[in-house]
Chains A and B, each alone.
Chain A
């Protein structure tokens, strides 16, 4: 079992829809949670970075962490065709150097 599980999709939604992307993780030591966006044939770029449980909002994007259920989510409001990409969740433990563990990514397509 991978430490971070993510549904690979693809997920297709109409423009303007609310998108929900999810990951589960197994290691309760993980304290930092990230979402990266990766366009085709490009490197991943950091979208959201959160510590511990709770919500974090940035424009149309909201990251949510529920440590009790080891569940992390990314919500995209008013989705746009430019949001079409692969979204990778990532986690990291606290205290000194901890390896960042990535999910395999969910491919999202927003249909105009």
Chain B
């Protein structure tokens, strides 16, 4: 049963702390997306990788957010330092093509207090 795996599922942290979220894309998929979902803004694209190369991170606050793909089986999203406004659900998604046919993980629910 192929699925995108995200860890942790839940994270509560204090303001100023570093947060790292991890994603294992579906084997064979060459595109990886990081999205943030809030009630007010809905789903917002933070970063997009194709064949492990970052192609679009225009939606990501560069001063505190960073996204990497150390290898084809791992994508990471890091927030340093975290702020209360970063509280949201962060989704990783992967796909085979460039089009919006993405498979989403279960998400990481982040709360920054």
| B residues apposed to A, CB below 8 Å | 4, 41-43, 45, 48, 50, 55-56, 59, 91, 93, 98-107, 109
Contact = CB atoms under 8 A, between A and B. Distances in A.
18 contacts: A32-B100, A42-B107, A43-B91, A43-B93, A44-B104, A46-B101, A46-B103, A49-B100, A97-B48, A97-B50, A97-B55, A97-B98, A99-B59, A100-B45, A102-B43, A103-B42, A104-B41, A104-B42
Nearest to A42: B106
A82 to B, nearest CB: 19
Contacts, number: 52
A15 interface: no
Give 9 closest A-B pairs by Cβ, nearest first: A43-B104, A104-B42, A100-B100, A102-B43, A92-B100, A34-B100, A44-B104, A43-B105, A43-B106
A90 interface: yes
Interface of A: 32, 34, 41-46, 49, 88, 90-92, 96-97, 99-100, 102-105
B97 to A, nearest CB: 11
A100 B43 CA distance: 10
A99 B59 CA distance: 10
A92 B33 CA distance: 14
A99 B45 contact: yes
A7 B68 CA distance: 35
Contacts of B102: 46, 100
Contacts of B103: 45-46
B54 to A, nearest CB: 12
B5 to A, nearest CB: 11
Given A99-B59, A102-B42, 16 more contacts: A32-B99, A41-B107, A42-B107, A43-B4, A43-B93, A43-B104, A43-B106, A44-B104, A49-B99, A49-B100, A92-B100, A96-B98, A97-B50, A99-B45, A100-B102, A105-B42
